A and B are shown apart, each in its own frame.
Chain A
């Protein structure tokens, strides 16, 4: 079981618990504003962009090459950016804070 906190662009903070699926699915399931997941989670649309809290980067691990490339589509991407359909919910993510990208 992992606790995952989303901070939306209106600065609303929502903490959710899950034990499987992707972080994007969790966000869409709970109607987190700004996470659309238009491609259904196959790293094709970049509508599931989040910034990982700098102190939690290790929990998230490193993005794959295709994910890094897709993030380049978004001018707001930075070194903490992830496409959260590529983040699987595991215990390792427990406590992570994700800021939904603008």
Chain B
């Protein structure tokens, strides 16, 4: 009897986090019949990253309470996971990847979802510092929790006053630590928000008993008998049992670069998340992509971008012609305060503050470029976030005077230019 063995195509994914995992499940939703195999260096079943600096850090939960998908879900959808496996190279000519144990895996379609890693700045003495951690993985959280539990004095210095640094400060404070945040810029969150927002968060942390210092350029860490002195260029120094580094990320682009995949501030992809190789897609934190709303190329570090690009790439791999055209959004939770952001504020000419009568922990900052609404940051104000989303999506003309007037009822119809 003649047996015809039909070879199913295989889609191989490098990186099984928000982007890679959503891609795999989206492929099945789009009807991909072939195999799907995900590789990740992290040995843990893929988990949500945002809670790592927020609720998960303060809980006693194991990572099993924080998974992107259950183990059974992968089985049910016939998605193979190779965890604790690092990919070491890509051979585009033979459509093959090599793993760090030397074995190889062929692909028909390859998805690069390798994300990013924390920057460890070249500070003198940083390699020998005791209990110094970044915060990107479940293992990092375990280390931080252990170090905190083992420390009596619990003095934590956080280098970097961005979202991750500030969220970690709030969480560790809740766990009883004495927390100091050192920010190099003149204000915290300088890269991502207006001064009004920076002031709000600086005040919030101060009220909660966290010391936030700006203009602090850390130049050296001196460690003696297990105790760190964190030294700044202005001569000040801070004692730390534990140091957390939160100064930004670097894209994991090396594998792609050595395979000749085009880079430009990340992996360069088109509107279908495809690279310069038609069989290789890239999604998530590692990509540099075009955003039609803002008419420019951007790199985003957000769950929204990872999930939405995953859906676009999955549709494209299944032969459709999707176009990535979504509005960026993001959130941050610190002490019971909820920040929600939509849009990109870069290039704004001015802001409009919208306060809600009788509640100073509920307001929103609206970023305009002349008449055009670019972005909204909403504090404890999901309504502002939702209205802002609709206005930006619709390209609506907002009446800035009415918006700023808290006696005008907060409804879309009331806020537009007649």
Contact = CB atoms under 8 A, between A and B. Distances in A.
A9 to B, nearest CB: 11
Given A28-B70, A31-B77, A42 B55 contact: yes
Q: Is the interface of B mostly helix, strand, loop or mixed?
A: helix
Contacts of B54: 42
Nearest to B333: A42
A61 interface: no
Interface stretch (A48-56, A64-72, A89-97): A64-72
Given A72-B386, A73-B386, A28 B66 contact: no
A12 to B, nearest CB: 13
Given A40-B51, A42-B333, A44-B340, A31 B386 contact: no
Interface string B226-245: 00000000000000000000
Interface residues of B, number: 28
A36 B389 CA distance: 20
Contact of B386 (A25, A39, A70): A70
Given A40-B48, A40-B66, A42-B54, 9 more contacts: A21-B65, A30-B70, A38-B303, A38-B304, A42-B333, A45-B304, A69-B386, A70-B386, A73-B386
Given A66-B382, A69-B383, A39 B66 contact: no
A38 B383 contact: no
B109 interface: no
B69 A28 contact: yes
A29 interface: yes
B348 interface: no
Contact of A39 (B50, B70, B382): B50
A70 B382 contact: yes
A99 B304 CA distance: 24
Interface of A: 21, 25, 28-31, 33, 36, 38-40, 42-45, 65-67, 69-70, 72-73
Interface of B: 29, 48, 50-51, 54-55, 65-67, 69-70, 72-73, 76-77, 303-304, 307, 331, 333, 338, 340, 380, 382-383, 385-386, 389
Nearest to A64: B382
Contacts of B77: 31
B229 to A, nearest CB: 37
Contacts of A33: 29
A31 B70 contact: yes
B212 to A, nearest CB: 24
Contacts of A42: 50-51, 54-55, 331, 333, 338
Nearest to A74: B386
Given A28-B70, A69-B383, A73-B389, A39 B303 contact: yes
Nearest to B64: A29
A43 B54 CA distance: 14
Nearest to B74: A31
Nearest to A47: B307
A43 B380 CA distance: 12
A77 to B, nearest CB: 11
A90 to B, nearest CB: 18
Contacts of B48: 40
A44 B380 CA distance: 11
Contacts of A21: 65
B73 to A, nearest CB: 4
A70 B77 CA distance: 30
A22 to B, nearest CB: 11
A44 B385 CA distance: 10
Nearest to A46: B386
